[in-house]
Structures are given as structure tokens and as C-alpha cells.
Amino acid sequence: MELKFIIRNPTFYVKCIVCGKESDYKICGKCFSERNRLLNLQKFEIEVCSRCESVKTQRGWVKKDLKKAIEEKILEEMQLFPDFRLENLEIAEKVLIASGEIYGEKVSVSVPLNYRIHRIACPRCSRKSGGYYEAIVQIRARGRELKSEDLSIIDKITREIIEESSGEKDFILKVEEKESGIDLYFGSRKIGEKVSRRVAQELGGSVSVTKKIHTRIDGRDVYRYTYLVRLSEAEENDVVLKDGKICVVKNAKMQKGMEIMTGKSVNIRNSRIIAKRDSMDWGIITNLDEHIAEIMDSSGRIILVPKPYGAEIGKEVLIFEFEKKKYAFPKEI
Ligand SMILES: [Zn+2]
Ligand SMILES: [Zn+2]
């Protein structure tokens, strides 16, 4: 398109040379727009993934609404005459209508809207359908099975991480439930690493990594990584032994416990479980002296235990046995 700039000069031009109408310009906006192309739009193509519906954009493949993608593509592709001040753009089925102002007049022009939607498989879906993966995240809990809460948190973490990533390898290939836990297969090592770290952080546990040569590409070794996430066995209100001290687990995720005799806060990493919360009996403190608490247990028997931190007559306690001795601690401390 040839660009013609018409210099505003009211001293010399007071009438449109075409229609004779009074104008600040040599030619009025209406006559100009009838003789020149103010809007231009070539035929274009949009690539859409037929599997995941993502759309190819200048920033790569992204999940977006097709209608929105078409609008954005139009804005990228269309060309406006420089003096034309666009005010409104309307997308009809087969035409694009632009309204705005040129040389002092409101005009509206249209061009045919011509595009083709090309449905293919995006690189991510192609890799996924080819069974590609770089990382396996194995999640296991020490000494117990994974709970359904664990599984739903793992599922949520995985979804979030995949959703916030858009690389062509950022997908989950498959999930395998094992007797001992769960195995997740990821297209990218980075995603596997992120998921394993966040699961260990949120559910309380540790991560170890191993890698194996999977193949060689162009003389370079290509590895597959296995992230083993070991969730800690201890849960809230379990009793653990840490450096010879008996502690109740207060926050399993943070690995925080409390020594039952002194009430001191203790890090329970690498501790050993000595009583699970579900297997403990309960009772009520009926009497106290300096060192001993007298407790009536759930079957009405009276037992004597070392006086725990926070003991008060009438308080409810949980009771467990360790090395043939009974212990108790208040349910709420
Ligand atoms: Zn005119
Ligand atoms: Zn896709």
C-alpha cells in the first residue's frame, strides 16, 4: 500500500478537491477513504492442537480460547493507514470492520476476513502420545500406606505445577499405583524435580535422586531420573522416640514434636515411632503428686504413670505403653 500523508494546512485548502465540501484538508476523509485502503488484512492461518486445544502463538503453544486467539491474530496481522485513528474494530463472520477518524471525518471501512484453522498435534501432545518421559517420581510412606489425603494433595500439587508450565515436555505421562505407594511419570526432569520437592515439603519427607542412562543422542548421554520421595511415618499425636526422649508429634510436616515430660519443643527428624495415635487408649487424670499422675483409663482401671507436662486433675489423656511401662500425656496441650 502506498502511503500518502496529507499535510493539514487550513490556510490554503478549505474545500475538498473531490466533493467540494468544506474541509481543513485538501481531500476530505470520506473521499480519501473511498480512494485509498485504510485497512489491510491478508489471509492467515491458526494452528490448534486437536488433542489439548492449545493454540500456537508468537510465544509458543498456549492454552487459550480459539475465539480469543483469532482476535489476537487479527490485531497482529492487520495493517492500518498511519493517519487513520482506529476507534472500534468489529469482527463479523466473514468481514472485519474498522471505524475511526481520518482527516476530520468519521469513517467505517471493511475487509474480508479470511483465515484457516489448521488442526495438528502440538509438540507436547506428540511427545506424550509417543510415551516420552524423563522422570519418575516414586512416592512412598515409611511404615504405612499412602492415605487418601496424601493422594489428593499429590494430585493437586501435580496439577498446579503442570498448569503453571508450558514447555513441550511439561506433562504427566501416566500414574501407576503400586502396593507400596504411587509412581508418577513426567515428560520433563524439571517437572519431576519440582513435584517431588513440593510433595516432600507439603507432606513432610525427604527426596533422593538417582539417574540412569536412557539413550545416547548425538554422542551425548540422555538420562532418566528417579525421584524417590519418602514421606515420614509419624503423624500428628503419634509418639516417637528421639535421642532417648519420648515426644508427641505436634506437626508431622514440619517434623516438630514436644517432649511429653518437659513440654520442650523437639525436632523429630530421624526419630522412631513407639506408639501410633490410633492404637492409644484414653483416660482421665484423677490425682496428681509431684512425680506421678493417677489415671482412670477407658475401662475404669486406675493406673499410675510418670507425671506428664501439662497434667491437671480432670484432664483427658492418651495412654500408651513403652518398654513395658505405661505413659500418658494430655490430649490437648
Ligand atoms: Zn470530499
Ligand atoms: Zn496438544
Work out the pLDDT band at 270, boundaries 50, 70, 90.
Answer: confident
The predicted structure's pLDDT at residue 88 = 93
| Distance from Cα 17 to the centre of ligand 1, integer Å | 7
Higher pLDDT, 232 or 275: 275
Average pLDDT of the segment spanning 46-70: 90
Ion ligand 1, residues whose Cβ is below 5 A away: 16, 18-19, 28, 31
Ligand nearest to the CA of 107: 1
Work out the pLDDT band at 31, boundaries 50, 70, 90.
Answer: very high
Q: What length does the chain have?
A: 333
The predicted structure's pLDDT at residue 145 = 84
Ligand nearest to the CA of 34: 1
| Distance from Cα 160 to the centre of ligand 1, integer Å | 60
| Distance from Cα 94 to the centre of ligand 1, integer Å | 29
Q: Which residues contact 246 (CB under 8 A, 6 or more apart)?
A: 239, 240, 259, 260, 261, 274, 322, 327
Ligand nearest to the CA of 122: 2
The predicted structure's pLDDT at residue 56 = 92
Ligand nearest to the CA of 20: 1
The predicted structure's pLDDT at residue 219 = 87
The predicted structure's pLDDT at residue 22 = 86
| Distance from Cα 122 to the centre of ligand 2, integer Å | 4
| Distance from Cα 51 to the centre of ligand 2, integer Å | 5
| Distance from Cα 246 to the centre of ligand 2, integer Å | 54
Instruction: State how beta strands 256-259 and 292-297 pair.
Output: unpaired
The predicted structure's pLDDT at residue 253 = 79
- What residue type is 180 in one-letter code? S
**Residue 12, burial from CB neighbour count under 10 angstroms (0-12, 13-18, 19+):** exposed
Helix (H) or strand (E) run with residue 88 in it? strand 85-91
| Distance from Cα 187 to the centre of ligand 2, integer Å | 13
* CA 204 – CA 259 distance, rounded (Å): 20
The predicted structure's pLDDT at residue 11 = 54
Average pLDDT of the segment spanning 217-229: 92
pLDDT digits (tens, 9 = 90+) for 297-312: 999 999 999 999 999 9
The predicted structure's pLDDT at residue 207 = 93
| Distance from Cα 115 to the centre of ligand 2, integer Å | 21
The predicted structure's pLDDT at residue 102 = 93
pLDDT digits (tens, 9 = 90+) for 224-262: 999 999 988 788 899 999 999 999 999 887 889 999 999
Compute CA 5 distance to the chain's CA centroid, rounded to the nearest angstrom.
51
8 dihedral zone (left: phi>0; alpha: psi -120 to 50; beta): beta
Higher pLDDT, 81 or 145: 81
Average pLDDT of the segment spanning 57-66: 87
The predicted structure's pLDDT at residue 25 = 87
Q: Best-predicted range by mean pLDDT among 13-22, 47-56, 141-150, 265-274?
A: 47-56
Q: In what order do the strands lie in the sheet with 60-63?
A: 60-63, 54-57, 44-49, 115-120
User: Is 100's pLDDT higher than 90?
Assistant: yes
Ligand nearest to the CA of 47: 2
Average pLDDT of the segment spanning 154-169: 91
The predicted structure's pLDDT at residue 257 = 94
Higher pLDDT, 23 or 106: 106
Ligand nearest to the CA of 50: 2
| Distance from Cα 221 to the centre of ligand 2, integer Å | 28
* CA 28 – CA 105 distance, rounded (Å): 7
Ligand nearest to the CA of 17: 1
Work out the mean pLDDT of the chain and round it to a whole number. 90
Ligand nearest to the CA of 54: 2
Ligand nearest to the CA of 123: 2
| Phi, then psi, of 321 in degrees rounded to 5 | -115, 135
| Distance from Cα 129 to the centre of ligand 2, integer Å | 10
Work out the pLDDT band at 167, boundaries 50, 70, 90.
Answer: confident
| Distance from Cα 21 to the centre of ligand 1, integer Å | 6
| Distance from Cα 25 to the centre of ligand 1, integer Å | 9
| Distance from Cα 37 to the centre of ligand 1, integer Å | 16
